Amino acid sequence: MNDSADEMAASEALRGREQLLQRLTEALPVGVLQVDARRRVVFTNDRLHEIVGTARATTLDEHLATVIDRDRPLVDAAFDAVLRDGVDDDIDVRIRHLGADEAEVRRCTLNLRALTGDDGEVTGVIVCVSDVTERARRRDELHMNANFDVLTRCLNRASTMAGLEALLAAPFDGSRPAVVFVDLDRFKLLNDQQGRAAGDEFLGVVARRLHGAVREDDLVGRMGGDEFLVVCPGVSTAAEAVRTAIRIAESLSHKIRLKTITTSSQVSIGVAWSSGTDTDADTLVAQADAAMRESKRRGAGRPVLFTPSLLRPPSQSA
């Protein structure tokens, strides 16, 4: 009778723990997924299926079928590492519910933890799945506001200068960064005559043309007001820097159609490039600015390459 009572007590305690775990997983705001060593699904809670958008099934692949194709190798590698070596992992993936619009991509964090037997052998994986879409969106917005100009989506001044400083500090490989300083000559007049909305629209068009005229790894920054700076890494000669500036000038030479008017675009462009390793970011930008002012003085809208003579007083530059 005593043995029977002990067995009943142990069984009741086991049922209590099972109920506790069941109720706990139901109350959690995260999805819970358990698989065995052969990747067969042992347990899921309702929240998991709400997050990933799949129905209950027997295999891991079926449960995570909504993970986008680009992130599938990351998921497979993480499960392989946990099941093979018992290595816990935290990964970020993107999912798209079946039938959802292309833009409706959710971002999720998967926390994978190994389950082991008494002998230490891995018996499965427990995974907590969190929908972090809104948190990631807020983080991206903070990053965007801290590093980009909200109006033009170009880098802001601080980020542009930081990018240039990093390029100048990189080991010398035979090429150096060049900078192209762009000033919009008639922007103030447009802003005064047509209003700020037209001026903002004009700046947006200029920014898009600048991005379209440069290489993929070039940095396009707005330095403030109507001034932009293009940072070009890996430039081997001054002539190469000038060719980039000419391409920019040509892209901005065409008329710009706004909502209220069609207007011309006139720019002044200065170029600076140093083959040495002792030029800092402020100096290089100041040189491009001086060249831009000479371009403005000439009034032809053509790029001017910086030379030391541009820093001399007018009486000595003849």
Active site positions, annotated: 226
Q: Give the E-state strand segments of 174-287 in sequence order.
A: 176-184, 219-224, 227-235, 256-257, 262-263, 267-273
Return the H-helix or E-strand segment holding 41: strand 41-44
Q: ∠27-90-50 over CA atoms, to 5°?
A: 35
Q: Is 18 helix (H, G, I), strand (E, B) or coil?
A: helix
Letter for the amino acid at 101? D
Q: Is residue 214 classed as helix, strand or coil in its secondary structure?
A: coil
* 8 Å CB contact between 234 and 216: no
Computed on alpha carbons and rounded to an integer, the radius of gyration of the chain in Å comes to: 30
Burial class (CB in 10 A: 0-12, 13-18, 19+), 234: middle
